[in-house]
Amino acid sequence: MTPAQKNKTVIVIVGPTAVGKTTVAIDIATRLNTEIISVDSRQCYKELKIGVATPSDEDLQRVTHHFITSHSIHQEVTAADFEQYALQKAEEIFKKKDCLVMAGGTGLYVKAFCEGLDEIPAVDAGIRNLIIKNYVEKGMAWLQAEVKIKDPAFYEAGEILNPQRMMRALEVREATGKSILEFRTGKKADRNFQIVKIGLELPKEELHRNINARVDKMMRQGLMQEASSLLPYRNLNALQTVGYTEMFDYLDGKISLQQAIELIKIHTRQYAKRQMTWFKKDKEIYWFSPASQSILSFLSAASLSGELNVDSNH
């Protein structure tokens, strides 16, 4: 970023899955006549649509989105890749706009963009692929046991229900002989733009209803058929995702269709809880109901120093 961009602003909208981030982000981006950078680690894959709740074609036409269907499941996309991608897009957008909206629920990607990431040595693809293969074949219990044995420090402090984070910890241990925690310095990168973080939350019962309704809608839209078409690529990292793994088990005959649907709902609710745990640790986030008109007032007020003119009558 150039010094001239120090008066630019990124509005980051976060929260759990199915809370309504897309609707709020499009509303704000429309009022500000700007663009959206998605911060979702699965919606970036062009082969995935129904199972990751990619915004509708209508939504994508209303506001220009970035990091939506921008990559292939055959590409390895990391938080570091997202950081580089999003900073480049932000620079491009800031050449014509004073602000941009970033929206999504992948906490590590939000952190990468806002604060930067600690330097972790590159991991050989062979190590990563072997860990993924073992996880797919042996399941979560194997993965948790391996992490507990090989990186007990991460096991005690980490997310032991998040397979991606555990596989990452395991591959770093295998590649470097060190715990991934040893690479975390906590030093934040300097960004030459303002960052305003808005969190969206709902009462648990309402969020769970939204999640259940979304899964039912995915099934009506053809999630099972989408998963079936992706079956040959099930071992790719992009497919180690709630919605697809359960459908693969159904297609393998391991569980019934009704069991698969119920498991997707359970696992999505568990994921939403982990997202909230992550975001609630960030004291820079201001929390609102997704339907709250206070969001617009907040953006128009002191937090943005009056630099953004949010049209609340748009």
Q: What is the pLDDT along the chain (314 residues), one digit of tens a residue?
A: 444 456 899 999 999 999 999 999 999 999 999 999 999 999 999 999 999 999 999 999 999 999 999 999 999 898 889 999 999 999 999 999 999 999 999 999 999 999 998 888 788 889 988 998 898 888 888 999 999 999 998 888 766 777 878 898 999 999 999 998 888 777 888 999 999 999 999 999 999 999 999 999 999 999 999 999 999 999 888 998 999 999 999 999 999 999 999 999 999 999 999 999 999 999 999 999 999 989 988 888 744 444 455 554 44
Give Cα 23 to chain centroid, integer Å: 16
Q: Pull the structure tokens for residue 242.
A: 């709630």
**97 vs 152: CA distance, rounded Å:** 47
**162 vs 160: CA distance, rounded Å:** 6
Listed residue (16, 55, 72, 12) closest to 202, CA to CA? 16
pLDDT of residue 302: 42
Cut 0.85: pTM above it: no
pLDDT of residue 314: 45
Listed residue (195, 220, 9) closest to 116, CA to CA? 195
pLDDT of residue 2: 47
Q: Which residues contact 187 (CB under 8 A, 6 or more apart)?
A: 116, 118
Q: Pull the structure tokens for residue 230.
A: 């992706």
198, 286 contact by CB (below 8 A): yes
Q: Pull the structure tokens for residue 114.
A: 């806002």
Listed residue (170, 129, 127, 134) closest to 152, CA to CA? 170
**39 vs 79: CA distance, rounded Å:** 10
Listed residue (13, 83, 73, 74) closest to 44, CA to CA? 73
Give Cα 91 to chain centroid, integer Å: 21
pLDDT of residue 18: 97
Q: Pull the structure tokens for residue 298.
A: 């907040």
**313 vs 221: CA distance, rounded Å:** 34
What are residue 45's DSSP bridge partners?
Answer: 71
Q: Is 60 exposed, middle or buried (0-12, 13-18, 19+ CB in 10 A)?
A: middle
Length of the chain: 314
Q: Pull the structure tokens for residue 184.
A: 């975390």
**167 vs 279: CA distance, rounded Å:** 21
